[in-house]
């Protein structure tokens, strides 16, 4: 597991620091998932949890999509990996017995696409004061970025434990 992450900046604008931390934690998740087979990526934590590294990638694709596209831009795009019939589908609908490399590629492609979309939206924003167009409670871009950092931090803790379960590797 090679650590190619870029450290967040020690100085800069508020937006540069927030995006630096968000990117760092995105890179951390990618590092935790590196060099694993589809079966390893879908190894579950402990019963009854369906938490897996691939589930985390799918979940964080949904998180990026929901906060940037729906809350910030008001697009109302549908979820990718869950539904009303399967509200935890981002985790539950990943079967370790049948998962393929195509399933892994689909999840990582979706996650990377949502990251690229979010980055483009942030780059085009006037400031972190911008108020989102969607959702019941209007949130500022600042709030959304802090929340995304919090989501990644929490789930990267899960990813560290899952990776240790898979092959014993630990660390940031």
In this predicted structure, what is the pLDDT of residue 107?
Answer: 98
- Reported as a single tens digit per residue, the pLDDT across 52-100 is 999 999 999 999 999 999 999 999 999 999 999 999 999 989 989 999 9
Is 53 within 8 Å of 36 (Cβ atoms)?
Answer: yes
Both tokens of 167, joined, read 């092959």
Please state the CATH superfamily assignment of the domain spanning residues 14-167 in this structure.
dinb family like domain (1.20.120.450)
Q: Which of 159, 147, 157 is nearest to 18 (CA)?
A: 147
Domain residue limits, the chain: 14-167
Residue 1 has pLDDT above 70, yes or no: no
> For 126-160, how does the pLDDT look when each residue is reduced to its tens digit (9 = 90+)?
999 999 999 888 999 999 999 999 999 999 999 99
0.75 surpassed by pTM: yes
pLDDT in tens, 77-88: 999 999 999 999
């Amino acid at each position: 597991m090679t650590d190619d992450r870029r450290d967040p900046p020690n100085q800069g604008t508020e937006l540069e620091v927030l995006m630096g931390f968000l990117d760092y934690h995105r890179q951390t998740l990618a590092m935790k998932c590196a060099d694993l087979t589809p079966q390893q990526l879908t190894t579950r934590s402990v019963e009854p949890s369906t938490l897996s590294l691939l589930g985390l990638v799918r979940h964080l694709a949904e998180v990026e999509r929901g906060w940037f596209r729906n809350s910030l831009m008001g697009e109302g795009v549908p979820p990718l990996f869950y539904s009303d019939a399967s509200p935890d589908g981002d985790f539950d609908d990943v079967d370790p017995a049948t998962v393929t490399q195509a399933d892994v590629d689909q999840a990582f492609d979706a996650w990377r696409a949502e990251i690229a979309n979010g980055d483009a939206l942030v780059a085009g924003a006037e400031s972190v004061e911008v108020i989102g167009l969607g959702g019941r409670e209007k949130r500022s871009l600042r709030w959304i970025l802090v929340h995304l950092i919090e989501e990644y931090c929490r789930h990267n803790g899960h990813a560290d434990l899952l990776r240790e379960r898979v092959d014993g590797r630990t660390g940031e």
